[in-house]
């Protein structure tokens, strides 16, 4: 019993230490965002802020972070909806209709997951120029959804394979077609898979910088990472309070989304581990 208590205590200490290490950068960021504008980032008490909340108001006024967040929200939402719609139906077809063609297609998609997205940027840029999709939000939606589609198909295929086929047979008896059976019967059961995909890929789309540099060129179309990069280049080294306040504002939506989906995300990971 004594050994068990010591082991538990050691685990708690290790977990606490890891949490502190992970949260420390965010804490320092908040401290810097609340410092007095006349204070340099290395001056004053690094553990107690000046509570200068007007920094956030000035950051809103001087940066284009709100417009960038709106652009990122449109790109992320559009990409996730498109990927889930196409990837979900593709995963359903691959999981339920086993054929050599579907197996070959699934293998290609799995292979695409191993290729870094930045490698496809040049051919994608050439294609997007031909369809006039450069420097447009809908063009960026197509790019990011294309890059996340293999992961989406893989997740949905894995989950749908574990669902009993009797659900489809019952739906067919009730007069449902294959498409209506998927959306009315199968898709509502895939909430853990959907939550896992949203979190795993949604954050990557929101924070996408590698493709955004090429496909979103004007300031009005910049997403959050681009807007932060431009703002940092203007004020880093002189306006640390504004830079930190802008960065803090930018991470708030990401934290809110994670808190909303964390229960489904953990359920999705545990279900995936059991099915694997």
Torsion of CA 178, 184, 187, 190, to 10 degrees: -130
Residue 76 has pLDDT above 90, yes or no: yes
pLDDT tens across 191-233, in order? Answer: 888 888 888 888 889 988 888 888 998 889 999 999 888 888 7
Give the position of tokens 């960065």. Answer: 247
pLDDT at 238: 65
pLDDT at 43: 59
**Entry pTM:** 0.82
Q: How far apart are CA 194 and CA 80, in angstroms?
A: 10
Residue 274 has pLDDT above 50, yes or no: no
pLDDT band for 259, please (50, 70, 90 cuts): confident
Backbone angles phi, psi at 123, to 5 degrees: -65, -35
Backbone angles phi, psi at 234, to 5 degrees: -80, -40
Report the chain's mean pLDDT, rounded to a whole number. 82
CATH (residue range 73-275): 1.10.3720.10
Report the pLDDT averaged over residues 124-134: 89
Q: How far apart are CA 138 and CA 124, in angstroms?
A: 14
The answer to whether residues 65 and 228 touch, using CB atoms and an 8 Å cutoff, is yes
Residue 1 has pLDDT above 60, yes or no: no
In this structure, the number of other CB atoms found within 10 A of the CB of residue 144 comes to: 27
């Amino acid at each position: 019993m004594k050994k068990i208590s010591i082991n538990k205590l050691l685990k708690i200490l290790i977990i606490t230490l890891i949490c502190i290490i992970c949260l420390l950068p965010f804490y320092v960021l908040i401290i810097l965002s609340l410092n007095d504008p006349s204070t340099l980032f290395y001056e004053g008490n690094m553990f107690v802020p000046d509570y200068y909340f007007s920094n956030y108001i000035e950051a809103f006024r001087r940066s284009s972070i709100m417009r960038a967040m709106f652009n990122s929200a449109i790109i992320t939402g559009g990409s996730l909806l498109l990927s889930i719609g196409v990837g979900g139906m593709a995963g359903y077809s691959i999981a339920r209709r086993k054929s050599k063609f579907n197996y070959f297609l699934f293998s290609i998609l799995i292979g695409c997951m191993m290729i870094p997205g930045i490698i496809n940027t040049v051919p994608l840029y050439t294609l997007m120029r031909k369809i006039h999709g450069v420097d447009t939000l809908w063009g960026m939606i197509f790019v990011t959804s294309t890059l996340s589609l293999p992961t989406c198909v893989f997740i949905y295929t894995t989950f749908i394979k574990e669902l009993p086929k009797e659900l489809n047979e019952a739906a067919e008896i009730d007069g449902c077609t294959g498409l209506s059976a998927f959306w009315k019967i199968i898709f509502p059961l895939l909430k853990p898979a959907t939550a896992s995909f949203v979190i795993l890929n949604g954050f990557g789309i929101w924070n996408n910088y590698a493709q955004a540099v090429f496909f979103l060129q004007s300031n009005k179309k910049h997403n959050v990472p681009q807007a932060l990069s431009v703002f940092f280049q203007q004020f880093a080294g002189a306006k640390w309070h504004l830079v930190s306040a802008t960065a803090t504002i930018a991470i708030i939506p990401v934290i809110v989304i994670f808190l909303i989906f964390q229960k489904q995300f953990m359920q999705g990971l545990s279900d995936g581990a059991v099915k694997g």
